[in-house]
Amino acid sequence: MEYLPKVIDECLRRNDFAFSIFRKVEADVDLNGYTIPKGWKVLVWHRAVHLDPNIHSNPKEFLPSRWDHEGHKLKAGSFIPFGGGSRTCPGASLGKLIISIFLHYFLLNYKLEELNPKGPRKYLPASCPVDNCLARVVKLP
């Protein structure tokens, strides 16, 4: 199960379960010639961070191997599926553990058959099939 945490991190990078987070601006910030005044609330869109090619090479590709590098450390704020800094979700590790346990048993005992594999996709707020990927769950012998 060495590869599974990398797949989970890549899934979290590609499709967050939280669309965005609000943050309060602590000091005036100049962003591309615009000033965001202290005290304003800003919306941080996870997808814009996780698909930024300046942070993640080939951001639109599903590459669990991007997490392979030993001691792989990202710059603060560049991987935020559970928030960041002092506001990181306290259940992040537990959530990833539960996902790992579920996937371990699911992948050993079941397979999915997508019902509409060539169906249309929507791209906002995240890329996914329009039918939400309807599938048949088949128990393996």
Q: Which residue segment(s) compose the domain that 65 sits in?
A: 4-108
Give tens-digit pLDDT for 123-139. Answer: 776 778 899 889 999 99
53 belongs to a structural domain: yes
Query: Is residue 126 a part of any domain in this protein?
Result: no
- When pLDDT is cut at 50, 70 and 90, the band that residue 107 belongs to is very high
Number of structural domains (the chain) is: 1
Question: Is the residue at 64 inside a domain?
Answer: yes
Q: What is the pLDDT of residues 9-68, one digit of tens each?
A: 999 998 877 777 888 999 999 988 999 999 999 988 888 888 899 888 888 889 999 888
Is 116 within the bounds of a domain?
A: no
Query: Does residue 104 fall inside a structural domain?
Result: yes
Q: What pLDDT is attached to residue 26?
A: 93
pLDDT at 99: 94
pLDDT score at 40: 95
Question: Which phi and psi angles does 30 have, rounded to 5°?
Answer: -100, 120
**Is the pLDDT reported for residue 71 higher than 60?**
no
Does residue 117 sit within a domain?
A: no
Q: What is the b/e burial string over 30-61, where b = at least 16 CB atoms within 10 angstroms of the residue's CB?
A: eeeeeeeeeeeeeeeebbebbbeeeebeebee
Q: Say whether 133 counts as a known binding-site residue.
A: no
Q: Indicate yes or no: pTM above 0.85.
A: no
